[in-house]
Amino acid sequence: MTSDFDLVVLGGGSGGLAAAFRAASHGARVALIAEGPLGGTCVNVGCVPKKAMWLAADLSHRIQLARELGFDLPAAPVTLDWPTFITHRERYIANIHTSYQQRLDAAGIAVLPLRGRLMPEGRIQCNDGVRVAAPAIVIATGGRPRRPLIPGVELGIDSDGFFGLRAAPARVAVIGAGYIAVELAGVLQSLGSRVDVFVRKRRLLESFDEDLGAQLVEDQRQHGIHCHFNYTLASLHAGQAGQVVLRDTHNRDTEPFDAVILATGRVPNSDDMGLEDAGVALDAAGRIVVDALQATTVQGVYAIGDVASDIALTPVAIAAARRLMDRLFGGQPEAKLDYADIATVVFSHPPIGKVGLTETEARLQFGDAVRVYRSSFRPMLHALAESPQRSLFKLVCVGDDERVVGIHLLGESADEILQGFAVALKRGLHKRDLDDTVAIHPTSAEELVLMR
């Protein structure tokens, strides 16, 4: 066993890499124990390849709009050559892997491509017998797709399996109501599949503003996606020619589908790591219990990212990791992540984003002091092409001075617009600040400064 490290990081995803790089920049001696490809879920089967597929789907939408506006394009649908596109997608990811490896080498970080198990007294046992030790250990092992415990579940694929597709299945059933379900449904519909979404409750994206969620369902319906609400899946059954049939709790069968995507949540990668034996507490969902400083119940052991946080977002894991390292090795004893008012976007068609409180959350907290502003409109491109897709922007304000506590955007470029306004909200934005700002015309973003 060697104690030649100041920090050992378990996990080579976005959070683990961010911790390793930041600690090394402060002069710490770092070992990274990373099983699987560098970049973890985000780079390999998450954010990066998902956004690549979304961009392809968005191009498909715009080609159709271009045809409506008079561009000389074939009358038949323009289809994506999946193998060609996937070659570009995988090349892009390979370049990220190469960049990570170069940065690790340059920073002098020792990389062990192994699985690590936590032992008592700050030790890590690797699956090849190697042991390492350090006064600080960061667990950043991320999460993986959850599969429902139902008969026939092996007939469906999860989000990891989606990235193994090499063509758009003719008919697809998506099970779920969260980020992954909404995003994959939109991508596949845009690329030629007929998509049905089966939702256990009454709405999509429960953590988002309800008005925007309802408009998203309507926009998706206009694109051809059919949502089935209050649906409880009981089992999957093999049909003819490799197809799959869904059966609900009332013993009713659906028509056959060519693919079923199970987007039913994610679970933390916290099992079989020796955590409980070492004294690290887990909650009922298997997440590592941490305090505001990312510390676990064992001194010197910390956890970040999806294995510990309720906010399962790559930028959150990265930000938490960097602040933790600034505190441990950078001489910044007060450094910690502020989890309030974190902006997030779902890459649906169109995108939907939020920062701050929803109207419902604000009214529960502030009651009658809440005032809401809305703007419902068709973006210029869709209006020109007579497309029915609509955008809905919403401001949630509180008090006589109308402090903005929530910004909610559904529509073209919502993903790009929200970032700047998130900074303003974090800095204490008021409605009068928006009123005093001259609009950029014609844009969708101007709606945020023109609401009355």
Q: Which residues are known catalytic residues? A: 441
Who contacts 63 (Cβ-Cβ below 8 Å, separation ≥6)?
A: 73, 78
Beta strands 136-139; 259-262: pairing state = unpaired
- Kind and range of the H or E run holding 82: helix 82-107
| Secondary structure (DSSP) of 379-424 | -HHHHHTT----EEEEEEEETTTTEEEEEEEESTTHHHHHHHHHHH
Q: How far is the C-alpha of 86 from the C-alpha of 82, rounded, in Å?
A: 6
Query: In angstroms, rounded to a whole number, what is the distance separating the alpha carbons of residues 284 and 56?
Result: 39
**287 neighbors 296 (Cβ within 8 angstroms):** no
The residue assigned the tokens 């999860």 is 158
What distances in angstroms separate CA 183 from CA 32, 44, 199, 224, one per listed residue? 32, 16, 14, 14
Strands 226-228 and 233-238 come out as unpaired
3-state secondary structure of 196: strand
Which letter, b or e, does each residue of 373-407 get, where b requires 16 or more Cβ atoms within 10 Å of its Cβ?
bebeebbebbeebebebbbbbbbbbbeeebbbbbb
Q: In the structure encoding, which two tokens stand for residue 118, read together?
A: 């936590």
SS3 157: strand
| DSSP H or E run through 60 | helix 47-68
Q: Please say whether the beta carbons of 191 and 60 come within 8 A.
A: yes
**How far, in Å, are 27, 136, 273, 291 from residue 295 at the CA level?**
21, 10, 17, 5
228 by Cβ neighbours in 10 Å (0-12 / 13-18 / 19+) ranks as middle
Give the helix ranges, DSSP H, for 224-274.
none
Nearest Cα to 47, choosing from 264, 316, 270?
Answer: 316
